[in-house]
């Protein structure tokens, strides 16, 4: 069963470095798994804990953030914030019985197309080994969830 499992992987890429690295990987015709869904963000520091958890809620089996090299974030310390948020998500996942390895932080500069492709290959293999994330996927709009007023 695990051999036929094709994980869904969400990748938050900062627009300055890692998205350019993904672009370069494409231009170099480097192969990386089609399991990757890239979301371009201004900076990995813009990715909130809730964005990562929502990706899992909506069906991702793994999520990684790919930002500029440490010390080279275009917003100075955004990728340091991202590192801390990824650490916190790992703790949250562990506390609810989900493997913390399902979330990761990588750093790829604009010239690191091959390394970006390798991150995609390695992470996809990691998630393939872990198997599908079993949870009840949310199909409801958050507006449909009843809220108790005054609770
Ligand atoms: Fe790339 Fe902040 S701009 S991680």
Q: pLDDT: is 105 or 148 the higher one?
A: 105
CATH number at residue 36: 3.40.50.960
List all residues 6 or more positions away from 77 whose beta carbon is below 8 Å from its beta carbon.
Answer: 45
| pLDDT at residue number 134 | 80
* Cα angle 137, 123, 42; round to 5: 75
Residue 143 domain-assigned?
no
Centre of ligand 1 to C-alpha 75, Å, is 6
- Strand, helix or coil for residue 26: helix
Give yes or no for residue 45 CB within 6 A of ligand 1: yes
Residue 139 domain-assigned?
no
| E strand or H helix at 78 | helix 78-95
User: Would you say 105 and 10 are in contact if contact means Cβ atoms under 8 Å apart?
Assistant: no
Tokens 């899992």: give the residue: 56
pLDDT tens for residues 16-31?
999 999 999 999 999 9
Q: What is the average pLDDT score of the chain?
A: 90
Residue 2 domain-assigned?
no
**Strands across the sheet containing 62-67:** 36-41, 9-14, 62-67, 103-107
Average pLDDT rounded to a whole number, residues 53-81: 97
| Shortest-distance Cα residue to atom 4 of ligand 1 | 67
| pLDDT at residue number 140 | 53
Q: Which domain holds residue 74?
A: 9-134
The structural domain count of the chain equals 1
Average pLDDT rounded to a whole number, residues 33-47: 96
Give yes or no for residue 41 CB within 6 A of ligand 1: no
């Amino acid at each position: 069963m695990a051999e036929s499992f094709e994980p869904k992987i969400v990748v938050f890429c900062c627009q300055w470095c890692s998205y350019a690295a993904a672009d370069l990987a494409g231009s170099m015709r480097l192969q990386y798994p089609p399991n990757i869904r890239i979301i371009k963000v201004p900076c990995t520091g813009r990715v909130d804990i809730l964005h990562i958890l929502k990706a899992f809620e909506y069906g991702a089996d793994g999520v990684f953030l790919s930002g500029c090299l440490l010390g080279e974030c275009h917003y100075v310390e955004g990728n340091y914030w991202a590192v801390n948020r990824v650490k916190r998500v790992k703790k949250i996942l562990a506390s609810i019985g989900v493997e913390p390895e399902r979330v990761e932080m990588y750093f790829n500069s604009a010239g690191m197309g091959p390394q970006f492709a390798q991150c995609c290959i390695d992470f996809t293999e990691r998630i393939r080994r872990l198997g599908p994330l079993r949870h009840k996927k949310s199909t409801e709009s958050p507006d449909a969830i009843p809220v108790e007023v005054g609770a």
